């Protein structure tokens, strides 16, 4: 599949992709550490890719011949002995460890200590077992704030991998968006070629509070919506429209871009922000048809690359006097 080819060629580690410096450093640490740890923590905001990171550690780790076994931490604590007995090597991923109650944290600590001792005594021939905990916050900071046991935080995060939010690695957005689009296109047999330049600019400007998961969802929704081979601004679901940025000039006035097309597009963006992305209402406020608004968004400020069509030009008023 074309998406698989792109992913193989894209900079990254396993299924994780990123060209940013921070991600390249993360990949290097993961590759070097994966074969050696017993316990580790993957920390990052919701949607940043913690489970994917755990799967990557499994793939490059000493337990790669065993299964990847994901559990919600709160559920694992309730069934730990039963689950543990069924494990025969591999990697156990415990999601949302930071959401455990103090009593559940104590139970997890006690269980991990007993399990480690039993593994050492039995010299389990089933193969090595690694444990990765996923957390949306830094466990050491949570321990310092008193919301997480310091002894459990210390044992889990001796080896720690921090996944940066997408807004802190914007150079990865276009790479990820292209990968998600090609993957969606291949899976749904819908030929799509890429993103129109204004669309990629909008994606890059967005703050992505839902991180990589949100980007993948937005790309999939746009791919389903579009009637073109290119993803246009009009195909995107409603995002938080970024505020217009202006820098002061030497005399203290706003630095205005003299380009007319970009000025028109900025005005359209402000109007869309006022109506929360409702294109019909925006078109009415702008005094143009909705189809013209779509064309102007697609062409970056002009309806057809030359200007407004005749039907949207101002009509002369009656001559009086």
Residues 89, 157, single domain; the answer is yes
User: What's the CATH number where 189 sits?
Assistant: 1.10.8.60
The answer on 171 and 158 residing in a single domain is no
Q: Judge whether 319 lies within some domain.
A: no
Does 102 lie in the same domain as 83?
Answer: yes
> Considering the entire predicted model, what is its pTM?
0.73
Considering the domain boundaries, does residue 7 fall inside one? Answer: no
| 8 A C-beta contact, residue 238 and residue 276 | yes
Residue 181 shares a structural domain with residue 267:
no
Q: State whether 29 and 151 are in the same domain.
A: yes
Domain identity same for 204 and 101: no
Q: Which pLDDT score, from 0 to 100, does residue 155 have?
A: 94
- Looking at the structure of the chain, the number of domains it has is 3
Strands (DSSP E) along the chain, which ranges?
Answer: 12-13, 16-17, 39-43, 68-72, 90-95, 129-135, 160-162, 194-195, 230-231
pLDDT value at position 84?
83
CA nearest neighbour of 27 among 44, 36, 37, 15:
15
Q: What are the angstrom distances between the C-alpha of 228 and each of 38, 162, 196?
A: 49, 38, 10
Instruction: Give the model's pLDDT for residue 313.
Output: 36
Domain assignment of residue 171, yes or no: yes
157 and 273, same domain (yes or no): no
Residue whose pair of structure tokens reads 């005094």 in the numeric block: 287
Per-residue confidence in pLDDT tens, the chain, 321 aa: 444 545 556 789 999 999 999 999 999 999 999 999 999 999 999 999 999 999 999 999 999 999 999 999 999 999 988 888 888 789 999 999 999 999 999 999 999 988 877 765 555 555 788 999 999 999 999 999 999 999 999 999 999 999 999 999 999 999 999 999 999 999 999 999 999 989 999 999 999 999 999 999 999 999 998 999 999 988 998 775 444 444 443 333 344 456 666 677 767 777 776 776 677 888 888 888 877 877 777 655 554 444 444 343 333 333 333
Per-residue pLDDT at 5: 47
3-class state of residue 198 by DSSP: helix
| The predicted structure's pLDDT at residue 299 | 59
Answer yes or no: is 8 within a domain.
no
- Do 184 and 149 share a structural domain? no
Tell me, yes or no, whether 97 and 155 share the same domain: yes
Residue 262 has a pLDDT of 60
242 occurs within a structural domain: no
- For residue 82, the enclosing domain spans 21-163
């Amino acid at each position: 599949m074309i998406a698989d080819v792109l992913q193989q060629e894209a900079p990254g580690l396993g299924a994780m992709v990123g060209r940013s410096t921070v991600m390249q450093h993360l990949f290097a640490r993961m590759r070097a550490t994966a074969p050696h740890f017993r316990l580790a923590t993957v920390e990052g905001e919701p949607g940043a890719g913690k489970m994917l990171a755990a799967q990557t550690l499994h793939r490059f780790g000493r337990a790669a011949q065993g299964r990847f076994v994901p559990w919600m931490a709160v559920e694992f604590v309730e069934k730990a002995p039963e689950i543990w007995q069924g494990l025969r090597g591999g990697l156990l991923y415990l999601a949302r460890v930071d959401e455990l109650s103090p009593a559940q944290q104590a139970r997890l600590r006690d269980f991990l200590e007993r399990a480690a001792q039993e593994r050492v005594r039995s010299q389990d021939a089933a193969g090595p077992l690694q444990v990765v905990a996923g957390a949306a916050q830094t466990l050491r900071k949570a321990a310092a704030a008193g919301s997480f046991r310091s002894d459990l935080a210390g044992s889990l995060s001796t080896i720690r991998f921090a996944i940066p939010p997408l807004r802190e690695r914007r150079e990865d957005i276009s790479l990820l968006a292209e990968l998600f689009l090609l993957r969606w296109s291949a899976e749904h047999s819908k030929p799509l070629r890429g993103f129109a330049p204004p669309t990629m600019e909008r994606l890059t400007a967005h703050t992505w509070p839902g991180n990589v998961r949100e980007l993948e969802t937005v790309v999939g929704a746009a791919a389903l919506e579009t009637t073109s081979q290119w993803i246009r601004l009009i195909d995107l679901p409603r995002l938080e429209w970024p505020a217009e940025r202006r820098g002061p000039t030497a005399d203290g006035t706003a630095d205005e871009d003299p380009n007319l097309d970009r000025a028109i597009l900025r005005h359209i963006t402000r109007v869309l922000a006022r109506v929360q992305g409702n294109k019909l209402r925006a078109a009415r406020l702008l005094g143009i048809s909705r189809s013209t608004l779509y064309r102007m968004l697609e062409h970056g400020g002009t309806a057809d690359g030359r200007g407004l069509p005749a039907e949207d030009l101002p009509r002369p008023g009656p001559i009086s006097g």
